[in-house]
Amino acid sequence: MTSTDLTTLNSARDRLTSDGSVLRLSETEAEQKSGYQAPTEEGLGERMIMNMGPQHPSTHGVLRLVLEMDGETITRSKPVIGYLHTGMEKTGEELTYLQGATNVTRMDYAAPLFNELVFSLAVEELLGIEVPDRGQWIRMLMSELNRMSSHLLFMATNGMDLGAVGMMLYGWREREEVLRFFEAVTGLRMNHNYIRPGGVAADLPGGWDEELSAILDIIPDRLAEFDLLMTGQPIWRDRLQGVGVITAEEALSLGATGPLLRSTGYAWDLRRDQPYLKYDQVEFDVIAGSFGDCFDRYSIRLAEIRESMRIVRQIIEKMPEGDYRVQDKKVTPPPRARIDESMEALIHHFKIFTEGFKVPEGEVYVAVESPRGELGCYIVSDGSSKPFRMHIRGPSFVNLQTLPHLMKDSFLADTVAIISSVDPIMGEIDR
Amino acid sequence: MSDAETPSIDDAELPEESVEDVLEEELPQPELLHGVPVSESRGQVVLHPSREEYVALVASLREIGYWMCIDLCGVDYLGYGPNRNLPAGVAPERFEVVVGLISHTDRSRIRLRVQVPESAPQLATLFQIHPSVENPEREVFDMFGISFDGHPDMTRILMPDEWVGHPLRKDYELGRIPVQFKGASTAR
């Protein structure tokens, strides 16, 4: 962690609150002012309000940006969100704790297992139960693989956004390798509902380690190809280096976490700094950049794929035997075989899936390090089988606030690179 | 206790008074942290500042290392049955604004729960202390109708501008789409 102090932090904050890089216009006003604008009285030249998105392919879904342009330069901007809002936090209040994982998994659809994980950890904290070792190691394995698949997706979209169209194919191809493993384990490629309160849905299938080793043999070579295709290329570097620069103090003031914060050289990673699961038993490096620009954010993610593979290799070696879910009759449904022979087991199974289990009253906040930063879950329980309030702290939602500051005084052509480097997932922003 | 004028009555009531005295003197002592009532929830430290203390508290916590406001959300406690785990002296109100702060130097987190009454759903903004609350405060305004005084852009963020109501309030009905069955005369 680089040393920063309150004085520099204060000056960064004061700069942020007063530099006017955020365009605070209502949607209606933005629409009215859209298009050509006559020179203003202050003689600031020809300012123009421009709408980018929400249907623009480079805006990662349905992000809309209202940009105030001075020629080709962006003076102020505002991300407009909400186009994908489906009220998932409200829905979460209507679903039992067992159903809740199916809801949250759809938020950050590029890293669904992290959503399930943080929700389950919060529920388990309220229940006061501890998942058996094997369950925790499986969770860790799946999270790290998901981090890889999410970053590989970033490689694809980031390449595409910058005109390296071939990357769209290669990134997806490599991600597919990981998703195939997910399908073998969870039954689905996305939205798994695999990590549930109490453990995971099923044990790893036979031969999982060999299958995984095969994947881990392929990907390093492909990452070397990425390096060849992008990292060393002068055009690639020109488009990313020095673009969208942010300092550590600014990132801290804006609540940015994940690769965005680490790119500034501030090595903060919850896996190391506030360990959950069994992260204190594996070795890995926290990757930090030094310039806080788009290139650092790109290379951090590339390096994090390698670190995740390093963790996965250790998990394969250390995977303990035992239960993959807690043996607590209140939370865990009886095994399939028991249902065939016991009426009580059938009723028990039915009750858990229809009524759910009751969670003691209280409130708790739990956070994990998702590929995008701190993913938090705040649950208030009133003692019933449904959460009274379920709030997800989406890293993309908070990271998005850095966009106006990253884009200030940059060219329109760089916006796409900057949006891409923040790696926002709209499902999580709008929830 | 010293304002009693008749010593005889005072003596007689002394045992009862002293119990209250002990309660009042001993409870706040462990329950005060950074000058405001504190409670614990599943091992996590929760502070309960009043609306007046709130901004000053966040500012002073920032001075001692809580540099980052990691989360801000609202809770509507309408119809919440059980005890809300509030320390003595904190009166429950319908709304709560929950703020999460993090200190990287000693790797600790602290949570603030501020009571916001239904009659005046307002709170001072933290924007000048932590610019990171800009979007979260807008979300709380959008979803709960709690407005933050001094916020530079107190507009809806997720719902359309012209939307009526605040969806995450407990008295806001969950939306339903009528299902049309084949052959049925009306939607059900």
CATH code for the domain of B134: 3.30.460.80
Nearest to B82 among A361, A397, A430 (CB): A361
Q: Which residues of B touch A358 (CB under 8 A)?
A: none
Length of chain B: 188
Q: Which of A257, A362, A376 sits opposite B41 (nearest CB)?
A: A362
**Token match 């809300």: residue?**
B84
Chain A: residue whose CA lies nearest to B106: A273
pLDDT recorded at residue A335: 82
Length of chain A: 431
How far apart CA B134 and CA B72 sit, in angstroms, is: 10
Q: Taking the CB of residue A302, how many other CB atoms lie within 10 A of it?
A: 20
A144 touches chain B (CB under 8 A): no
What pLDDT, on a 0 to 100 scale, did the predictor assign at position A27?
A: 66
Which tops the pLDDT comparison, B23 or B142?
A: B142
Contacts of A87 in chain B (CB under 8 A): 167, 175
A228 lies within 8 A of chain B by CB: no
Q: What integer pLDDT is reported at residue A123 of this predicted model?
A: 93
- Bridge partners of B71, per DSSP, are B100
- pLDDT value, residue B97: 93
B54 found inside a domain: yes
Domains and CATH numbers, chain A: 88-430 (1.10.645.10)
B132 belongs to a structural domain = yes
Question: What pLDDT, on a 0 to 100 scale, did the predictor assign at position A397?
Answer: 92
Q: Which tokens in the block code for residue A95?
A: 């679903």
Q: How far is CA A295 from the centre of its chain?
A: 19
| Subunit contact A376:B159, Cβ cutoff 8 A | no
Q: Is A28's Cβ below 8 Å from some Cβ in B?
A: yes
Taking all residues of chain B, what is their mean pLDDT, rounded to a whole number? 80
Structure tokens at A22: 């955020």
The predicted pLDDT at position A40 comes to 54
Residues A82/B159, Cβ–Cβ less than 8 Å: yes
> Are B51 and B115 spatial neighbours (Cβ–Cβ below 8 Å)?
yes
- Please give the residue range of the domain that contains residue B68: 31-78+89-162
**Peptide bond connecting A54 to the previous residue in cis, omega within 30 degrees of 0:** yes
Residue B9 pLDDT greater than 70, yes or no? no
Both tokens of A15, joined, read 């700069």
Question: How far from A327 is each of A111, A122, A199, A255, B117, CA to CA, in Å?
Answer: 28, 18, 9, 39, 43
Is A400 in Cβ contact with B81 (below 8 Å)?
no
Residue owning tokens 């490096």: A285
Q: Domain count for chain B, please give it.
A: 1
Range B50-62 burial, b when 16+ CB lie within 10 A, else e: ebebbbebbeebb
- Report the pLDDT value the prediction gives residue A431, as an integer from 0 to 100: 83
Identify all chain B residues contacting A22, using CB atoms and an 8 Å cutoff: 134, 152-153
Question: What is the structure's pLDDT at A34?
Answer: 61
pLDDT band at residue B2 using 50, 70 and 90 as cut-offs: very low
What residues of A are in contact with residue B158 (Cβ under 8 Å)? 81-82, 85, 430-431
| A273 vs A267: CA distance, rounded Å | 9
Q: Across the interface, do A382 and B73 touch by the CB < 8 Å criterion?
A: no
Q: What is the pLDDT along chain A (431 residues), one digit of tens a residue?
A: 456 787 888 888 877 777 677 877 776 676 666 655 544 555 555 677 888 877 776 667 788 888 888 878 888 888 888 888 888 999 899 899 988 989 999 998 889 999 999 999 999 999 989 999 999 999 999 999 999 999 999 999 888 888 888 888 898 988 998 999 999 999 998 889 999 998 898 889 988 989 999 999 999 999 998 888 888 889 999 889 888 899 888 899 899 999 999 999 898 899 998 888 889 999 999 999 899 899 999 999 999 999 999 999 999 999 999 888 888 888 888 888 888 888 888 888 888 888 888 899 999 999 999 999 999 999 999 988 999 999 999 999 999 999 998 988 888 888 888 988 988 888 888 88
Nearest to A128 by CA among A354, A357, A334: A357
> What is the predicted ipTM?
0.86
d(CA A21, CA A246): 13
Q: Which residues pair with A375 in a beta bridge?
A: A368
Q: Residue B94: inside a domain, yes or no?
A: yes
Q: Is residue B136 included in any domain, yes or no?
A: yes
The answer, for A263 touching chain B at a CB cutoff of 8 Å, is no
Interchain CB distance below 8 Å, B70 and A380 = no
Q: Which residue of B has its CA nearest to A275?
A: B107
User: Which one-letter amino acid corresponds to residue A346?
Assistant: L
